[in-house]
Structure 1
Amino acid sequence: MAQGQEIVTRTDGLPKAVFDPERLAAVAASELLDTPAEGTFDDLAHLAMSITGAQKAFFTVADGRRSFWKSAVGMDPTAGRENDIRDSPCHILIGTGRELIAEDAATDPRIRDLAAVGALGIGAWAGYPVFSPNGHVLGGFCVVDKDARPFTAAQTQALQTLARSVSSEIALRQALRESRASGEASAALARTLQDSLLPPRLPAAPGLDVAALHVPATATGDAGADVVGDFYDLFHTRGKNWAAVMGDVCGKGIDAALVTALARYTVRAEASQHTHPSVILHRLHQAMASQRVSDRFLTAGLVTFRPGPDNDGLVGRYASAGHPPALIRRADGTVEELTSPGMLLHPDFDPDKAVRKDTSFRLHSEDALLLYTDGITEARTRQRGPLFGDERLAEVLAGTHGDDAATTVTRLQKAAAQHSGGYAMDDTALMLLRVAPQPSS
């Protein structure tokens, strides 16, 4: 939020948005008020503290009377779990729907007179709104430092990512409750999962031509139950660094969705702090073991990368957790496997005993890196004919040299569909990162 931004207030000085009946209904529908602390939200708060170096982190849900601390890491657990809405910076997030970064709380006119500044020992405060599925501000996700201090762009970006993760978790939970109440996997659930767990479009990474697709299985004909199995993501981390992940959760439906949500937001948060993909996967494994949202297995392939020397292509690292090897298609059509040892992820496996290593790679002009799930290599006809297989995938990929990213993934998917007669026993996800051609001199 820009300092001095106008908020529509009531005569008591509180934003009118706090008392919006639709917002209050959304707060009630979240079913978070007056509930115990949970590992899912506390883990995100711990991450926020680790990333920013702050002493406290909160996820709050606010009605018209109080700001309830669903998560309050760094606070004395006997000190209570709420404060008056008038005393909390959370009401400013509700009024603006935007972030609030106060690097010196004692002098910042937006919060200096709030009772919470003295009561909680706030020297600096940084927070982002948390939204309901229909776009209402439920509360905030914030960190508190005892001293006045600046927050870096990387730290605020990570906080924004974590706040979005909280919003996604809330949306997923509500969709699952609605699904269970109706006794079926509804179309609304399918849409929520799609929106929360697969990016609607990939971001524009500098110097790259990128494309991805997700094809759900057709084996059961129940699109609601099968909506989630594979997932992918591409995102900027910090500085010139980027990350891309491809994952495959064993099975379908609600449990698979829970694991996918945990994996996606954990990888995003950890990648803002670590550049080695093996470390990020280790941290994801720890989160799965501690939170135990499901007993599903998960495989994942993760790359971290940045522009190469003199902006020539890119340099990166790849690590795998039981996932199929990434494939590199060189500009001349040569295909190479990018392998990395690493066991798949499961909450019963000890993360500290799982050995994973990074594999370095380099891409030049028109080279491409393919991440995929085994839905494509295991494609076969309904009559259980031969698999599409690793060799055929590499052969088709080799024949796409010179194609852009979108054309390449489309050709790969069409080749697998032709081989299987259009039958998809499992979900298929593909993501291609291609170094854009260098302009002619």
Structure 2
Amino acid sequence: MRYPEGVRADGLPAVLSDPGRLAALGASGQVGSAPERVFDDLTRLAAAVTGCGIAALTFVAEDRTYWKSVPHLPYGGPELWQNAVADSFCYFPVGTNGPFVVEDAGEDPRTAGHPALAPWGVGAWAGFPIVTSDGQAIGSMCVIDAEPRIWKQGELEALAILARAVSSEVNLRVSLTATRTALDDARDALERAQHALTNSSELARSLQDSLLPPALRPVPGLEVAARYLPASGDAAVVGDFYDLFQGRTGWWTAVMGDVCGKGTDAAKVTALARYTMRADAGEHLSPAEVLDRLNTAMHAQRAPRFLTAVQTTFRTTPAGLSGRLCLAGHPPALIRRADGRVQQVGTSGTLLGVFPAVRLSDVRFRMAPGDLLLLYTDGACEARPDPAAPGPHRPMFDEAALARTLAETPGLDADATTQHIAAALAAHHGGFASDDTALLAVRVPPAPAAA
């Protein structure tokens, strides 16, 4: 087999010894590291989606392969969880910096007679590289079947998604370390990979769910709350997502997006948007700049769907809160003042993933004690009553209805406000939601009463 960088004297790809690749591997912090749930969840999901008995995530050095996640084996410590690089197939995706797929390992001329065949029981093998942000392949995610098999296209697409998710997690950790932000902000993007699923639709839904934080990280001096209200009916995948995380010191970022369409393509774009925005928000305080960079990334990756998004960066001040907000084809944010007045925030901007150049602008806003900021997806302003419900026809729950509902909540905290809106939506559509809905609220607590 020929490799672009040639081969070493021992017949292995010369790129394994490339100084730039080895530096990138060292910077990842993964060599000799112990298993983590965030990675184990993804390898278990890879095994379940493909029906294989073995799935593994490894990081490949010059002469050794270091195991990061091999869920079917008990952890034996760093000295045991490694092997000579030639004793497994893991170097193949690294050597080619691309997928390596074998349907009959014993007969394929690339792998016939390989020393890994018997110890690992390899009948068929499929793996994708783990790639750094600068394009260096430092490891691989693979699945092993004991019998030869013909891989389905959907299985390989799912494995590619999971390998990119691992790459994004590793790259995000490196980026956050460089900007001195806590590593735990990087982990919660992937900590929630769901139970083993058996078809591509369920896989995509699981990947979408894994992008929704189970609980928002507390923001000192503020109240925060979020709700995700799934559509009624089957588990068709949509692209609603939200996030809240710390960027630069003293600044926080809240994002919400809605990917057009449903299915696996929507899940792919959701993942791309989430990881890109997290990575870039640590470098730019301007939401318009971050959303513009996301648009560029979507075109570079040939994203199959477009999306709308709203992003805000904010920090607490002695007077309350100061922030910037940008809309990219998304419904305007709402601010509920302490006295119940509701105001729209944001200037309409271009949706993302359609045009190479977009028109986006930041709007500055301030909030005083008792004020609340609400971000939402269009399920909250396009809710339709169940057409099968008895009684007279009712109009759509639109933006005006949402504003009126929010105005009914002066004095309620962030969680109670999102609960009130969710109850109003349920009452309007009669328990049959036609679209998923995401809500995220940030409130400046009222000043304590004078003694």
Q: 2:340 aligns with which of 333, 338, 348?
A: 333
Q: How far apart in 2 are the matches of 1:191 and 1:334?
A: 39
Contact 1:240-1:306 within 8 A present in 2 as well: yes
Code of the aligned partner of 2:410: H
Contact 1:35-1:70 within 8 A present in 2 as well: no
> How far is the alpha carbon of 1:22 from its aligned partner?
3.2
> How far is the alpha carbon of 1:175 from its aligned partner?
7.4
1:155-202 deviation line (CA, Å, top 9, x unaligned) = 24387766776x689x69x979x524xxxx33x65444312x111110
Task: Give yes or no for the alignment of 1:179 onto 2:199.
Answer: yes
Which residue is equivalent to 2:179?
A: 155
Relative to 1, partners in 2 of residues 1:267 and 1:403: Cα closer, same or farther, differing over 3 Å?
Answer: same
Contact 1:162-1:269 within 8 A present in 2 as well: no
Which residue is equivalent to 2:327?
A: 320
Relative to 1, partners in 2 of residues 1:433 and 1:33: Cα closer, same or farther, differing over 3 Å?
Answer: same
Secondary structure in 2 matching 1:211: strand
Code of the aligned partner of 1:200: P
Q: How far apart in 1 are the matches of 2:377 and 2:260?
A: 11
Secondary structure in 2 matching 1:397: helix
Structure 1 window deviating more from structure 2 (391-400 vs 416-425): it is 416-425
Code of the aligned partner of 2:199: S
Q: How far apart in 2 are the matches of 1:163 and 1:38?
A: 25
Q: How far apart in 1 are the matches of 2:420 and 2:71?
A: 50
Which residue is equivalent to 2:434?
A: 425
Task: Give yes or no for the alignment of 1:362 onto 2:347.
Answer: no
Q: Which consecutive residues of structure 1, in runs of 5 or more, have no partner in the other structure? A: 9-13, 40-63, 86-131, 146-150
Q: How far apart in 2 are the matches of 1:162 and 1:276?
A: 20
Which structure has the bigger radius of gyration?
2
Which residue is equivalent to 1:222?
A: 234
Which residue is equivalent to 2:411?
A: 402
Relative to 1, partners in 2 of residues 1:142 and 1:276: Cα closer, same or farther, differing over 3 Å?
Answer: closer
> How far is the alpha carbon of 1:339 from its aligned partner?
2.2
> How far is the alpha carbon of 1:307 from its aligned partner?
1.3
Relative to 1, partners in 2 of residues 1:209 and 1:38: Cα closer, same or farther, differing over 3 Å?
Answer: farther
Which residue is equivalent to 1:280?
A: 290
Contact 2:177-2:183 within 8 A present in 1 as well: no
Aligned residues: 328
> How far is the alpha carbon of 1:72 from its aligned partner?
5.6
> How far is the alpha carbon of 1:142 from its aligned partner?
6.8
Which residue is equivalent to 1:193?
A: 208
> How far is the alpha carbon of 1:207 from its aligned partner?
1.1
Contact 2:226-2:439 within 8 A present in 1 as well: yes
Q: 1:246 aligns with which of 253, 256, 260?
A: 256
Contact 1:36-1:70 within 8 A present in 2 as well: no
Q: How far apart in 2 are the matches of 1:339 and 1:324?
A: 9
Relative to 1, partners in 2 of residues 1:424 and 1:139: Cα closer, same or farther, differing over 3 Å?
Answer: closer
1:186-237 deviation line (CA, Å, top 9, x unaligned) = 3x65444312x1111101011111111111111xx212x23x3211111111
Structure 1 window deviating more from structure 2 (376-385 vs 395-404): it is 376-385
Which residue is equivalent to 1:305?
A: 314
Q: How far apart in 2 are the matches of 1:400 and 1:138?
A: 43
> How far is the alpha carbon of 1:423 from its aligned partner?
1.8
Q: 1:387 aligns with which of 389, 392, 396?
A: 396
Q: How far apart in 2 are the matches of 1:282 and 1:34?
A: 32
Relative to 1, partners in 2 of residues 1:251 and 1:36: Cα closer, same or farther, differing over 3 Å?
Answer: farther
What RMSD, in angstroms, separates the aligned Cα atoms of the two structures?
4.5
Task: Give yes or no for the alignment of 1:209 onto 2:220.
Answer: no
> How far is the alpha carbon of 1:440 from its aligned partner?
3.4
1:103-118 → structure 2 map (5 Å cutoff): none
Contact 1:154-1:238 within 8 A present in 2 as well: no
> How far is the alpha carbon of 1:293 from its aligned partner?
3.5
> How far is the alpha carbon of 1:252 from its aligned partner?
1.6
Which residue is equivalent to 2:85?
A: none
Q: 1:349 aligns with which of 352, 355, 378?
A: 355
Code of the aligned partner of 2:380: I
1:370-412 deviation line (CA, Å, top 9, x unaligned) = 0001111111112274111111111110110100111111111
Contact 1:379-1:417 within 8 A present in 2 as well: no
Which residue is equivalent to 2:267?
A: 257
Q: Which consecutive residues of structure 2, in runs of 5 or more, have no partner in the other structure? A: 1-27, 36-63, 76-80, 83-87, 100-118, 121-127, 141-160, 388-392
1:7-41 deviation line (CA, Å, top 9, x unaligned) = 99xxxxx99966967369999999994475479xx
> How far is the alpha carbon of 1:341 from its aligned partner?
2.5
Code of the aligned partner of 1:155: T
Secondary structure in 2 matching 1:361: strand
Code of the aligned partner of 2:284: H
Which residue is equivalent to 1:111?
A: none
Code of the aligned partner of 1:193: Q
Q: How far apart in 2 are the matches of 1:6 and 1:272?
A: 25
Code of the aligned partner of 2:218: A
